[in-house]
Amino acid sequence: MAVPVVDQELCIGCGVCAELCPEVFEIRDEKSLVIGPDRCDSCDCEEAVASCPVSAIELVDNT
């Protein structure tokens, strides 16, 4: 299964990913934190990846 990883250097804390996938991403200290890496079944993590304005999210295969 692919899990999302956020590059903390790139993230500008815009909140788009947390809006699309609130069970996966949470904004803390103006950065996106992956709180539910296995919850991409609850939303479209690929859309979050595509919607990030600074391409800070990557889907990494953890199998």
Residue with tokens 């953890």: 62
CA distance 25 to 6: 9
Distance CA 56, CA 63 (A): 21
- Dihedral Cα 41, 47, 53, 59, nearest 10 deg: 50
Candidate residues 6, 21, 40, 43; the one interacting with ligand SF4 per rule CB under 6 A? 6
Q: Does 21 bind ligand SF4 (CB under 6 A)?
A: no
Exactly one of 3, 21, 24, 57 binds ligand SF4 (CB under 6 A); that residue is 57
Q: Which of 32, 34, 43, 45 binds ligand SF4 (CB under 6 A)?
A: 32
The site for ligand SF4 (CB under 6 A) is made up of: 6, 11-17, 25, 32, 52-54, 56-57
